[in-house]
Amino acid sequence: MSRLPGRLAVAGLYAGGFLGPFGGGVVASMLPELGEAFQLSAGAASASLTVYMIPFAGFMLFSGTWGQRWGARRTVITAYLVYVAASLGCALAQDEYLFLAGRAVQGAANAFVTPLLLGALAAITPPTRLGRTLGWFASMQAAGQTSAPLIGGLAAEVSWRYAFLGVAVVAAGLAVLGLPGGESGPRRSASLRTAWRPAVLRAGLVAGIGWGCLGGLSYLVALRLDDDFQLSAGTRGLVLTGFGLTGILTARAVGRAIDRFGARRCVLTGTVLGGVLLAGVGLVPSLLAVGLLWAAAGPAMQLIMVGLNALVLAGNGDNRGGAVSVVQSLRFGGGALSPVAFVPVYHLDPLAAFLLPAALLLTTAPVVLPRIPPGQGTEK
């Protein structure tokens, strides 16, 4: 597997970036069909999203480090094969318990893929081009997240099971591609202590606040679109898609900006822009303005997340995968806590529910963000 042409393996790294968020979100538009198949309400079927995300976020606290110790190539190929088996299990499941178990295994397997793909990209990319490379990867992730509901919904028009068969085929192909050279062999020096350094944890805290207070707030925007503008579900979805589309279109430019101006500066710029735009989403009385502001927040989110990934991957240590794994875990942990924190505030005061996360974005990063990349002693 490792002897295939290097360009194909590099292409596989980017395709793997697409598969993770696609596999996680593919069920979002097929909840009624899942409910009908398993005699569940659509609300109960939504557990298929939760059971994917919990092991995905939880295992990423450790998966990057463990994967480096076992060998990145071996770990990624094994994780893809487990993902294939779990996807086939979902496609063939005859009851909700087997289906949800398959979703949980999908999430756990993906936790051992995404951080090691990022580490492998950093290993084969010159430092002066790291931002652009991570920007491309982020665009693939955004494309997977944005297209998942559409493709999943189209598949469900025939049979929702076809979506999981398709995911299994793609994961099998990625297992054949494996990883290019670089961080492929076992690295016994990788340890949880090297991944859980204070600077990495601080970057992870910014990622959790950034995602929980901006990238993961689509549910809050949807509530306002329903309450203030009485939009249908389809129209709300169309407005929300703007965030992902602008993120895809600007990811490459964001990467170039990181290479030119430095990762920390771009993260801080993203948090300021994101905070201002989010406050505007809660304040403006015009539907068009809400849609435009929310779409403009997509590039701000890319500045935050691509910048943080560049920050923790910029060093030359043996545990790049472990460090970025911790950051990604805290990112999705922040997203999981976001509805618990802000939906009650929204019911008390809708405007406050937007101003509070905006304030957190504006104030946290300048205080918490490390002043030097966590893996090296200098910053651009």
Tens digit of each residue's pLDDT (9 = 90 or more) over 217-255: 887 888 898 889 988 866 777 888 888 899 889 988 999
Query: Nearest CA to 173 among 16, 278, 365, 306?
Result: 16
For 359, phi and psi rounded to 5 degrees?
Answer: -65, -40
Tens digit of each residue's pLDDT (9 = 90 or more) over 192-207: 777 888 889 999 999 9
CB contact at 8 A, 332 and 57: yes
Whole-angstrom Cα distance, residue 297 to residue 278? 7
Whole-angstrom Cα distance, residue 75 to residue 375? 23
Whole-angstrom Cα distance, residue 41 to residue 25? 18
Amino acid letter, 7: R
Residue 213 carries which DSSP code? I
Whole-angstrom Cα distance, residue 12 to residue 159? 28
Residue 1's pLDDT band (cuts 50, 70, 90) = very low
CB contact at 8 A, 10 and 147: no
CA triple 8-176-108, angle to 5 deg: 110
CA triple 299-303-307, angle to 5 deg: 155
Reading the block at residue 356, the tokens are 């509070």
CA 20 to chain centre: 8
Residue 126's pLDDT band (cuts 50, 70, 90) = confident
pLDDT at 3: 46
pLDDT at 317: 62
pLDDT at 377: 40
CB contact at 8 A, 203 and 327: yes
